[in-house]
Amino acid sequence: MASDETHRLMRHPEAPKRATLLELLLDVVYVAALALLSMRLSVDLSWIAAAEVLVLLMAVWWIWSITALLTDFYNPEEPKIQVIVAWAMLGSIVMTATIPQAFSALGWLFAGMYVAIHLVRGVVLVAVLRRHQAQIRAARFLCWFVLSGTLWLAGAFLPASTRIVLWGIALLTDYVGAVLRYPTPWLGRVPMAQYDKASEHLGERYQQFVILALGDIILVPLLLSGRSELDAERLGMLLLAFVTMLLLWQIYVHRAGASLQVAIGERPGRATRWAPYTHLFMVAGIVATATGFELLVARSHSRAGLGLVAVVVGGPALFLIGRTIFEYEVFGRFSWSRLIWLVVLVGTAPAFLPLTPSAVAGFTSVVLLGVALSDSARSNGWHRQDRRSIPS
């Protein structure tokens, strides 16, 4: 039978829903990681570089997602859980520092820390959850991360062309394992009932991360502008980056982001299982959008070209895709108006290849404004329908 000390490690249903200060401190590390990823992509807009950035982003995102799930399932005020979070923070700092050289000289360090974060967390949880049913849950996670960790470490000592393949398979193992609820010999799968124990705290964590990530759209361009003379054109790009950031924020919080905590309260299992994947699309879109504005502020292109159009248009497009799937899976609603705007955005992108980069960014902002206004109109329609359905 589990001891009282072991029971205290579990999050109580009536525990505060707010994130702890340690969790917020963890998020700051990931703001730096996303900034480095966008800067890395801005240096090389090739498809190979984009694939490498995607692999690194998926690794960083998965650590954050699992840590958010950890502090929602266990009590983040307990010292043992805080030590695990602090370890994830330390490991994430090392991984972030190695991002520029993860596919060259420091691949072993990036992969080693990724594996160490997951394995140390799993070993500690299995050790401290003695005779508690949650020990089996921790053991399932640990077994799957041992499997993917082997691929991570093997890829770290191979050439970059082979490394990206092995790391991609390792990430597929991590992501698919979660979808399948970590089926493990002799231990079975994670019961669906455990996903139903997710609290509003988890919804708040995703909201906080997206809001902080959106700040990267203006953060790095601001830092770059400080290195050069601030003329009218560069100031205009900064203002456009600010507007784009606000529009993406509005699109996220409108009836989905702001209601994520409510959705987790009503349908915790579905929201918990879909949030990591749909938010990955949105975070990837934010990184690409930040890359675009870094290039716009640096004025490294006289005309748009394929690479710049891909990030300036593709970033918001990825964000809209993730946002639309998220709303459908969690709330059961599909936004046709957002799909139409997405088709307009992507469908007209080829026409901007020979134009100036600022024209591409300006058009993208207009489309995002159209999405935000359509969402607002759609919301007002729902409200009127709800009022008519209320009996007098």
The least confident of 88-102, 237-251, 318-332 is: 318-332
pLDDT in tens, 267-281: 666 777 888 999 999
| Residue 25, pLDDT above cutoff 50 | yes
| Residue 259, pLDDT above cutoff 60 | no
pLDDT value for 227: 73
| Banded pLDDT at 311 (limits 50, 70, 90) | very high
| Residue 389, pLDDT above cutoff 50 | no
Average pLDDT, the chain: 87
pLDDT in tens, 127-164: 999 878 889 999 999 999 999 999 999 999 999 999 99
Determine the average pLDDT of the residues in 29-47: 93
Determine the average pLDDT of the residues in 20-29: 92
Strands, E assignment, the chain: none
User: DSSP secondary-structure letter at 254?
Assistant: I
Q: Is 350 left (phi over 0), alpha (psi -120 to 50) or beta?
A: alpha
Q: What is the reported pTM?
A: 0.92
Determine the average pLDDT of the residues in 314-340: 87
What span, in angstroms and rounded, lies between the C-alpha atoms of 87 and 379?
A: 43
What count of other Cβ atoms lies within 10 Å of the Cβ of residue 190? 18
Determine the average pLDDT of the residues in 350-374: 89
| Banded pLDDT at 255 (limits 50, 70, 90) | low
Coil, strand or helix at 158: coil
Determine the average pLDDT of the residues in 241-247: 95
Select from 317, 264, 267 the least CA-distant residue to 288.
317
Higher per-residue confidence, 6 vs 64: 64
